[in-house]
Amino acid sequence: GACVVALGPYTAGIFGNNAGLAASFRDASIMTGERVWELPMDDERLKKKIRSEVADVVNSGGRYGGAITAAMFLREFVGEGIKWLHVDIAGVDSSDEEYGYYRKGATGFGVRTCLEWLSKYESR
């Protein structure tokens, strides 16, 4: 839910560690009409929110910056040197109205963008 609060019900948040990867995914999203927006993960103050006295890391950093701290949590499990991208589809995964090729209910948001991105990536 935190991402839908930040971006609304029609735009997914993307997070990652590689600007080129994020840009190519954003380009694919433009081709498919599935809106995405990159959010930052460079705030050390938010990073402190996922630290714990009883565990290495916690999966929720509190009320503020929730989508960012959730992505920071995921980042903890990615190996060094691995490019990665997280698409936060909370809020865009279902719709209460028809729009374009979307019907009411589950949207399948991101599938078209992933396929578009993969087709371009494979062609390189």
pLDDT tens, 50-84?
A: 888 888 887 777 778 889 989 999 999 999 999 99
Higher pLDDT among residues 76 and 123, named by residue: 76
Q: What is the structure's pLDDT at 124?
A: 61
The answer to whether 12 touches 33, Cβ cutoff 8 Å, is no
Tally of domains within the chain = 1
Tell me the one-letter amino acid at 64: Y
Q: Say which CATH number the domain at 73 has.
A: 3.40.630.10
The answer to whether 23 touches 11, Cβ cutoff 8 Å, is no
- Residue 61 token pair: 């950093």
- Expressed as residue numbers, the domain containing 60 is 2-122
